[in-house]
Structure 1
């Protein structure tokens, strides 16, 4: 195995020189030699997009920082999945695609320099942009036929401002991402897509809470995944499990299976450990244990809606701490993001026909969890009338609400169509088989509201 350093290919660590070509030359040399190791030493290495080939170990030494140039024109259209739909989007800042045996390791930092991207998204929204306008948006629109009718989560699909994820592995086997610090992503931060055998370990992932759509980890239609010892503090969901959205995700039919999450910490995120809302191909055998999700909006969050599809089952969430959340457990089949029509049949309280696009949640266990000072409610479990949540067990858990908080129970999760409640109780709707055993709830006048 050959060992290279980026300086050998003209790289400069002054924070100004564009090292895009130096990285391309170095990884091309590794590819020609059947793989090897590329090390990046101390300093700030400014660069555009990076592509990592098979059988490569990419090492970021302590004190090394990859600093990505925030210029949309540098990130050409690349085939990916963006908010649950296969399409062309901007090239991820770091990409390894159709590869095997790739490692990114070390104690260095990967800096996505997301602020200009977030500001640009806000500016587009503030001026009321409703369709593609800039050249890079028009190019993506020309490649993504029918994008106007594709589902999204509010990230900007309608204008084709499809920001790049920070680190993406797609169509890969045997991937390790370990030890590095990853900050300020333009969009989703770590996005494994169609990966088999993945280890994410001892990562430090941090984006401002106000940064839009900056999920921490999005495991998307993957198999055999371990997420261990990671710290995540971001501007959307923390550790997420996904499998495509609506008809396109059903067409791809690639579920996420066998995910183990352990000894992780999530702060500030909209959700700590999250399943959905892109649920189309289903998720199963998802197990999380010994994690601290305190200070997130929702600790455990399972979300979908009519039209998104998917079978979610064999989920076990055990020994989680979720203090100071809005709501510790939110299972929501009326998830609203990406929809502006509040009167849509998607949010009807009446039974709708069951189709391939009707999501299902069943066989979920939540065991040994503690959640103190919940500001909005003690819990929120809402299934569909035509597809109730089935075989849900919550046991040996201790919850308390902060009755002095001015946060409404209606803030427990993001939804349309549900009747208002005013007590910070554990709300249960369309989940007739829910079993609660040794569950302690302190604070609200009514401990449970069954609908």
Structure 2
């Protein structure tokens, strides 16, 4: 495999009272901070502002949708003059969907909670993503949204974004959704994105959805969702290049990380694979689904190494989907993994007449629960080889006659070489 197309994928299972504002210069205001607060970011900003100076009300009841949008629009004027950061101070900040801007940092204080509005009129309806099909009705814009941006940071000192998703889950279960439910954070067609040091809870649907984007760092994120919620995937890189996901903790009713690239003929036609993806030091709790999943939507291709696979999710955007629009899936490696208290070791399902091939699994130890399933490996339409795997794999993945280590690229991704700067709220 050419080194330019390799990626790494490793999984280890294992500020301050209310602030005053001067958009042009906030140094005197920041002298009033109770804590000296520094944080890592792709870039530091010359200008700083606080949500309250735009009329924000943090009582958990007053809508701040217009406040967020007005504040960010005003700060966008500083993009060419060193950029700007918007501080969300302590409080409960109710809001509908709002849009980010370039050369911008959204900082959420540890005692701040951004509360997603349950008023659907505060969520704009957007057209379908081009790799997901023109025939679908559309989708609600995410709570925090950005398109065609450069250099965006969403961070904090463990501030919280609460999607208040329960009404959305119920409406979905009852079959009453006219449009696709919103994500918490969705960034599309963008470059240089950082999400870090945040807690995300109760998303209406997927939590973090970077799409058609590149040069992405997602780290030190906690994502929590009840086990009975619906499709609350943690992080879903979708047709993205050069992405780093690390040092995060996810509890989900669905996949903790799902690698995507569009669906059916729409994904194939759009032809933007997810590639150059590194996942490491990820802790995942997902009783019903995968730690790291390939798909379901992955018709545009996924290059290099990935984990856990399924070829028949049974979901399509509209009745006109093309059953012949099939992906090529090969060269999937699992290596150096330990799993404990496992009921069911593996389910690897390819696609009939389109099998997943060249799978390699080595040095994997799975310790079973007291009452494991009788059949530990369930494999269909897959082919490959294993070495030093306990319990032994299915017949489609026979043990190699010689001990082997599945190949793993030794070169680093460009995103690994990025050094974050130390920034301050008192710039």
Q: Spell out, residue by residue over 1:179-224, the C-alpha distance to the aligned partner (whole angstroms, 9 max, x if none).
A: 0111111111111111111010100111111111111111111110
How many aligned positions are there?
343
* Alignment-derived partner of residue 380 in structure 1: 347
Query: In 1, Cα distance between the equivalents of 2:351 and 2:230?
Result: 29
Deviation at 1:33, TM superposition (A): 2.3
Are the counterparts in 1 of residues 310 and 350 from structure 2 also a CA contact under 8 Å? no
* Alignment-derived partner of residue 292 in structure 2: 273
Q: Say which structure, 1 or 2, has more relative contact order (CA 8 Å, 6+ apart).
A: 2
Query: In 2, Cα distance between the equivalents of 1:404 and 1:62?
Result: 42
Indicate the structure with greater strand content.
1
Query: In 1, Cα distance between the equivalents of 2:348 and 2:232?
Result: 26
Query: In 2, Cα distance between the equivalents of 1:182 and 1:242?
Result: 21
Indicate yes or no: 2:279 matched with 1:261. Answer: yes
* Alignment-derived partner of residue 418 in structure 1: none
RMSD: 2.6
Secondary structure of the structure 1 residue equivalent to 2:266: helix
Q: How does 1:47-58 map to 2 (within 5 A)?
A: 47-58=95-106
Query: In 2, Cα distance between the equivalents of 1:217 and 1:441?
Result: 30
Are the counterparts in 1 of residues 347 and 379 from structure 2 also a CA contact under 8 Å? yes
Mark the runs of 5 or more structure 2 residues left unpaired by the alignment: 1-45, 398-427
* Change in 2 beyond 3 A, CA 1:182/1:58: same
Are the counterparts in 2 of residues 4 and 37 from structure 1 also a CA contact under 8 Å? yes
* Change in 2 beyond 3 A, CA 1:82/1:162: farther
Indicate yes or no: 2:59 matched with 1:91. Answer: no
Secondary structure of the structure 2 residue equivalent to 1:285: coil
Residue of structure 1 aligned with 2:165, choices 114, 117, 120: 114
Residue of structure 1 aligned with 2:314, choices 308, 330, 336: 336
Deviation at 1:43, TM superposition (A): 0.8
Deviation at 1:285, TM superposition (A): 2.7
Are the counterparts in 2 of residues 80 and 170 from structure 1 also a CA contact under 8 Å? no
* Alignment-derived partner of residue 378 in structure 2: 427
Deviation at 1:2, TM superposition (A): 1.6
Deviation at 1:400, TM superposition (A): 4.1
Are the counterparts in 2 of residues 167 and 191 from structure 1 also a CA contact under 8 Å? yes
Mark the runs of 5 or more structure 1 residues left unpaired by the alignment: 130-158, 288-299, 305-333, 347-354, 408-422
* Alignment-derived partner of residue 424 in structure 2: none
Runs of 4+ in 1 over 6 A off after TM superposition: none
Residue of structure 1 aligned with 2:60, choices 15, 18, 33: 15
Are the counterparts in 2 of residues 401 and 424 from structure 1 also a CA contact under 8 Å? no
Indicate yes or no: 2:365 matched with 1:365. Answer: no
Q: How does 1:313-332 map to 2 (within 5 A)?
A: none
Q: Spell out, residue by residue over 1:32-66, the C-alpha distance to the aligned partner (whole angstroms, 9 max, x if none).
A: 22231111111111111111111101111110111
Query: In 1, Cα distance between the equivalents of 2:226 and 2:270?
Result: 33
* Alignment-derived partner of residue 390 in structure 1: 357
Secondary structure of the structure 2 residue equivalent to 1:53: coil
Are the counterparts in 1 of residues 251 and 286 from structure 2 also a CA contact under 8 Å? yes
Deviation at 1:365, TM superposition (A): 1.5
TM-score under structure 2 length normalisation: 0.74
* Change in 2 beyond 3 A, CA 1:205/1:83: farther
Query: In 2, Cα distance between the equivalents of 1:209 and 1:82?
Result: 31
Secondary structure of the structure 2 residue equivalent to 1:214: coil
Deviation at 1:268, TM superposition (A): 2.3
Query: In 1, Cα distance between the equivalents of 2:112 and 2:121?
Result: 25
Query: In 1, Cα distance between the equivalents of 2:350 and 2:182?
Result: 33
* Alignment-derived partner of residue 319 in structure 1: none
Query: In 2, Cα distance between the equivalents of 1:83 and 1:234?
Result: 25
Are the counterparts in 2 of residues 82 and 162 from structure 1 also a CA contact under 8 Å? no
